[in-house]
Amino acid sequence: MAAMEYGKLEEPFEGFLLMGVFAPGEHDVASLLLYHNGEACLLEVPPDPVLVYQVRDTLEAHGLELKYIAATHRHFDHWDERLVELLMEEHPGASVLSNHEDVFTHLGGELLVSLHCPKHSLSDQVVLFRGCGDGGH
The pLDDT value recorded for residue 1 is: 41
Is 108 within the bounds of a domain? no
Q: What's the CATH code of the domain at 62?
A: 3.60.15.10
**pTM of this structure:** 0.86
pLDDT at 125: 84
Structural domain for 71, as ranges? 10-98
The answer to whether residue 88 is domain-embedded is yes
The number of distinct structural domains making up the chain is: 1
pLDDT tens for the chain, residues 1 to 137: 444 455 578 888 889 998 877 666 666 778 889 999 999 999 988 888 888 999 999 999 999 999 999 988 777 777 889 999 999 999 999 999 987 889 999 999 999 999 888 787 777 788 899 977 776 55
Write the DSSP assignment of the chain as a string of letters. -PPPPTT--EEEETTEEEEEEES-STT-EEEEEEEETTEEEEE-B-S-THHHHHHHHHHHHHT-EEEEEE-SS-STTTB-HHHHHHHHHH-TT-EEPPSSS-EEEEETTEEEEEEE--SSSTT-EEEEETTEEE---
* pLDDT at residue 23 in the model: 60
